[in-house]
Amino acid sequence: MWDKPSINRLPGERLHLRHGPITIVLKVWAAPEIVRQAHRLVTRHFPKILPELADELAELRKPITKAATFQSKIAQRMADAALPFADVYVTPMAAVAGSVAEEVLRILQAAGPIERAFVNDGGDIAFHLEPGQALKFGVAGDFSEGPTPAINGTIELTADMGLGGIATSGAQGRSFSLGVADSVTVLAKTAAIADVAATLVANAVNVDSKSVIRKPANKLDPDTDLGDLLVTTKVGSLKSDEIEAALASGVTQAQAYLQKGLIAGAVLMLQGSVRVVGEPMKTIKEKR
């Protein structure tokens, strides 16, 4: 079982929420009484999220092939987000962090009129912007200089873009990846969809190389939703042509999702090289 949920205040009127694997930082911009009410609502409802998901975990770990029905709103959101990507192996768990972020954002919005807000669930972010509002996000996924990612640049998101989610995945992240990307950051209409797309584009940043070590996912975690699929455990120094081939594969996948309207943009990073897909990401410079 998990420890009891914790909710703490951070500088800048932010809240830090933690329960089991869920770690969230959020902020709301609104009238003071609305901010206080939003914090009260989150404090009341956040402890219910993880137990509700746990009740349906077995089904959520199964590959999605058709529309599915779940009891909890978050589980249903996960399944709905995964379904448009069902032409490859994917389970609703690919959308879990983004879906939790969306649910917490929904709770915040129930407090009253909010100018803008973000909910960052371990790097998968749901955000809300009223007309005329904007938020800037730093894109940090370059691990070429050490274990701490460097910030490659910032993107400014405005209300008229019609977006609500940004997510990051890759072999350097906290979840298993089938690919070799240091990171892939994706923009989409919702955090749940961005979460799935980032996972799958990161999987597509891939290459056969002696420098890459892989192991069956279920040998590393018997409860994984990836079964015996080979996941990346280490990426050594890749040759320049291997980096180019891996990123080209990921770009092809990202462009396909962009053409289908599933994402608005993506930034792909591998050992100091950067590729950009989609107009909103153009402020991040490509690097070869």
> What pLDDT was estimated at residue 160?
95
> What pLDDT was estimated at residue 1?
62
262 within a domain of the structure (yes/no):
yes
Our count of domains for the chain comes to 1
286 within a domain of the structure (yes/no):
no
> What pLDDT was estimated at residue 132?
96
d(CA 188, CA 162): 9
CATH code: domain of residue 34: 3.10.520.10
Strands (E), the chain: 6-10, 14-19, 22-29, 116-121, 124-129, 134-142, 150-158, 165-169, 183-188, 212-216, 230-235, 265-270, 273-277
Which token pair is 95?
Answer: 């959308």
203 within a domain of the structure (yes/no):
yes
12 within a domain of the structure (yes/no):
yes
Domain hosting 225: range is: 6-276
Which token pair is 139?
Answer: 């894109």
8 Å CB contact between 155 and 283: yes
68 within a domain of the structure (yes/no):
yes
Query: What is the spatial order of strands in the sheet that 273-277 belongs to?
Result: 6-10, 14-19, 22-29, 116-121, 124-129, 165-169, 183-188, 265-270, 273-277
pTM, two decimals, is 0.94
288 within a domain of the structure (yes/no):
no
282 within a domain of the structure (yes/no):
no
pLDDT in tens, the chain (288 residues): 678 899 999 999 999 999 999 999 999 999 999 999 999 999 999 999 999 999 999 999 999 989 999 999 999 999 999 999 999 999 999 999 999 999 999 999 999 999 999 999 999 999 999 999 999 998 877 777 667 777 778 999 999 999 999 999 998 877 899 999 999 999 999 999 999 999 999 999 999 999 999 999 999 999 899 999 999 999 999 999 999 999 999 999 999 999 999 999 999 999 999 999 999 999 898 888
94 within a domain of the structure (yes/no):
yes
* Host H or E run for residue 209: none
C-alpha dist (Å) from residue 203 to 102, 181, 206, 246: 23, 8, 7, 10
